[in-house]
Amino acid sequence: MARSSGFKINRQGIRKMMGEIQREMDKYPVTARVQADPDVSFGDTNVFNGPVIHGDVRGSQLAWGNNSVSQNQDQSNPIAPGFEAIAEAVVDTLRQLPILGVSDEDLEDASAVGEEVLNEVVQPEPDRGVIRRAAAALKGYLAPIATGAVTAGAVTGGEETARVLIERLSTAL
């Protein structure tokens, strides 16, 4: 019988570390000058005087042969009609949980649950069952604070804030 090692990946710590690494890398941008030789010929071989991309490039942008470029992408998806209130309630809950003194482990789990809701509400036909179960899980993180069972690390007024968030999650659907 195998025993659990008790090891759990600290996803929040990894995200923080990745952000710090990215900020450090952003200080030292890498640039490379690339120039194609237009006079090269290899018989039956195709010679491309520009980028050739093989494979999946979803979300990518490429500018070629210009001196300056400004590119933007809108990666947001519209929230399905009727699901705006639950999306807003989930976002507000996720913003408040760290202030309310929720443990890092619970914050990580709540973040995953909240992300599940936010991914669902942008579907053409969101699954209300998925959203209800996720909202119930988020309320579970708030309940000990709302009832005063957990006070360590919580801010003054945390009980009332937790109750308001629970109410919003309950009535948003």
Instruction: Answer whether residue 41 shows pLDDT above 60.
Output: no
pTM for the full predicted model = 0.57
43-63 per-position pLDDT tens digit = 566 656 666 666 666 666 776
Which pair of structure tokens corresponds to residue 45?
Answer: 């071989």
Q: Could you report the per-residue pLDDT of 72-91, keeping only the tens digit for each?
A: 766 677 899 999 999 999 99
Q: What are phi and psi of 156, to 5 degrees?
A: -60, 135
Instruction: Count CB neighbours of 49 within 10 A.
Output: 12
Listed in order, strand segments (DSSP E) in the chain are none
Of 95, 108, 100, which is closest to residue 137 (Cα–Cα)? Answer: 108
Q: Taking Cα atoms as reference points, which of 36, 142, 64 lies closest to residue 96?
A: 142
Identify the sign of the CA torsion 120, 122, 124, 126: positive
Distance between CA atoms of residues 110 and 18, nearest Å? 20
Tokens of 55: 């494979």
Per-residue pLDDT of 92-121, as tens digits, reads 999 999 888 888 898 999 999 999 999 999
